[in-house]
């Protein structure tokens, strides 16, 4: 008999999740004109609504925040209205869905920026990373450092995007502070060489993450605010000399803000879990609310970690692409389908909404 640990309901803030399985954010590069979700997007998320919690693909809070071709936004009325169709479809199937709020910082390209200007970053350090632009992969562009006076505008963009997400019917938001994007760039000294209030010390490098989180929680409620962190991941060319002290401090302060969850990428994003020494259990102990574990989990490891109290929920990414009924397959011991890597990014229904459920 299949262990039922993963299939128990769970209370997240003011909502009850049907199970402990989370669909992780997955960039698919299929937004329509105006960076709006399409009817295919509605179908895609509705197909996966059996997850206890769905977290949307990363969604830019402004045009400046965009780093990849054909990714959706949450800063125009048309985008809000299009996302409302997605949330309505997920709720009609009994699902719960959060929107992931995204500013990529230096992981962008001049061809995606208004007027072809340079992307922004904490410091003018070009990442050793690629982006998807003009229907192919290209090196990211050289960034410019944000001026001190621009930072309040970034914080307000996150706040307004959170308000827009709630207006679009989302149950909450996840602040993307992971994987080498803007907030992670500020936190890690490999990308942040500032000498002002947002650089240098652990406290200063944590400042933007905490100010954004405080603004979002004040706007929509801490019980609807989560955050994604990747303390040890080298994703998108990011590095840190002191990840344990940096993220111990960040998580302690996030706990004081009372937000509903931290979603932690354990190890290298999409890669080895043991890429660098890091005590994730210390983060778990430091945070009073929900801990979502992510990276390299299969059903057995997820079940064990929850049973041991080392996670409350577990997020699965790529398995959800080819298995819209992933929860059902886990429950019934059905083998998982393999995804087609050629259809991950861009395109239409193929490799997006045409993966069948095991039982049709």
Tell me: pLDDT of 45 over 90: yes
Percent pLDDT > 90 in the chain is: 98
Q: If you average pLDDT over residues 224-242, what whole number do you get?
A: 97
Please, how many CA atoms are within 13 Å of residue 103, restricted to the half-sphere of its CB?
29
Hey, how many other C-beta atoms are within 10 angstroms of the C-beta on 282?
13
**Residue 3, pLDDT score:** 87
Predicted confidence (pLDDT) per residue in 206-225, tens digit: 999 999 999 999 999 999 99
Cα-flanking dihedrals φ and ψ of residue 40, to 5°?
Answer: -65, -35
Fold assignment, 5-343: TIM Barrel (3.20.20)
Q: CB–CB of 207/197 below 8 Å? A: yes
> What is 311-335 written as a DSSP string?
-SEEEE-THHHH-TTHHHHHHHTPP
**Residue 233, pLDDT score:** 97
**Residue 307, pLDDT score:** 96
Q: What whole-number distance in Å separates Cα of residue 19 and Cα of residue 51?
A: 7
Hey, how many other C-beta atoms are within 10 angstroms of the C-beta on 356?
12
| Residues sharing a CB contact under 8 Å with residue 152, sequence separation 6 or more, in sequence order | none
**Residue 241, pLDDT score:** 96
Q: What whole-number distance in Å separates Cα of residue 160 and Cα of residue 344?
A: 30
Tell me: pLDDT of 2 over 90: no
Phi-psi region of 7 (alpha: psi -120 to 50; beta: other; left: phi over 0): alpha
Average per-residue pLDDT in the chain?
Answer: 97
Tell me: pLDDT of 145 over 90: yes
DSSP 260: S
Options 44, 45, 98, 181, the catalytic residue: 181
Q: If you average pLDDT over residues 260-272, what whole number do you get?
A: 95
Q: CB–CB of 97/56 below 8 Å? A: yes
pTM over 0.95: yes
Tell me: pLDDT of 360 over 70: no
Predicted confidence (pLDDT) per residue in 306-356, tens digit: 999 999 999 999 999 999 999 999 999 999 999 999 999 999 999 999 999
Predicted confidence (pLDDT) per residue in 111-127, tens digit: 999 999 999 999 999 99
**Residue 68, pLDDT score:** 98
Name the burial class of residue 87, with classes exposed (0-12), middle (13-18) and buried (19+) by CB atoms within 10 angstroms of its CB. Answer: buried
Which residue shows structure tokens 């886990």? 330
Q: CB–CB of 23/53 below 8 Å? A: yes
Q: What whole-number distance in Å separates Cα of residue 103 and Cα of residue 298?
A: 29
Tell me: pLDDT of 12 over 60: yes
Q: What whole-number distance in Å separates Cα of residue 95 and Cα of residue 12?
A: 13
Catalytic annotation present for 181? yes
Under the banding of pLDDT at 50, 70 and 90, the label for residue 247 is very high
Q: Angle at which helices 77-92 and 39-47 pack, to 10 degrees?
A: 30
Q: If you average pLDDT over residues 9-23, what whole number do you get?
A: 97
In the chain, which residue ranges form alpha helices assigned H by DSSP? 39-47, 77-92, 151-167, 182-187, 202-220, 243-257, 280-286, 299-307, 319-322, 326-332
Per-domain residue ranges of the chain? 5-343
């Amino acid at each position: 008999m299949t262990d039922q640990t993963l299939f128990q309901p769970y209370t997240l803030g003011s909502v009850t999740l049907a199970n402990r399985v989370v669909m992780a954010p997955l960039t698919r590069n299929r937004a329509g004109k105006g960076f709006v979700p399409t009817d295919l997007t509605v179908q895609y998320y509705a197909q996966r609504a059996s997850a206890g919690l769905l977290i949307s693909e990363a969604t830019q809070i402004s045009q400046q925040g965009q780093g990849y071709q054909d990714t959706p936004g949450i800063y125009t009325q048309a985008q809000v209205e299009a996302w409302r169709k997605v949330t309505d479809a997920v709720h009609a199937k009994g699902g719960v869905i959060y929107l992931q709020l995204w500013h990529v910082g230096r992981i962008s390209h001049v061809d995606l920026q208004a007027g072809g200007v340079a992307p922004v970053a904490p410091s003018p350090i070009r990442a050793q990373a690629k982006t998807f632009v003009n229907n192919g992969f290209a090196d990211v562009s050289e960034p410019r450092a944000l001026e001190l006076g621009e930072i309040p505008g970034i914080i307000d963009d996150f706040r307004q995007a959170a308000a827009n997400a709630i207006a679009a019917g989302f149950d909450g938001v996840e602040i993307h502070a992971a994987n080498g994007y803007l907030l992670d760039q500020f936190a890690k000294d490999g990308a942040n060489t500032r000498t002002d209030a947002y650089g240098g010390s652990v406290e200063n490098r944590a400042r933007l993450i905490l100010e954004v989180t405080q603004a979002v929680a004040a706007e929509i409620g801490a019980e609807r605010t989560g955050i994604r962190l990747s303390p040890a991941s080298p994703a998108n060319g990011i590095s840190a000399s002191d990840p344990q002290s940096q993220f111990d401090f960040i998580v302690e302060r996030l706990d004081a803000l009372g937000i509903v969850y931290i979603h932690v990428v354990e190890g290298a994003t999409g890669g080895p879990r043991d890429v660098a020494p890091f005590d994730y259990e210390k983060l778990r102990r430091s945070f009073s609310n929900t801990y979502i574990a992510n990276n390299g989990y299969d059903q057995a490891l997820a079940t064990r970690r929850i049973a041991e109290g080392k996670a409350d929920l577990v997020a699965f990414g790529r398995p959800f692409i080819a298995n819209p009924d992933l929860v059902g397959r886990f429950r019934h011991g059905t083998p998982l389908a393999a995804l087609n890597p050629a259809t991950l990014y861009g395109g239409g229904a193929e490799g997006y909404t045409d993966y069948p459920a095991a039982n049709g």
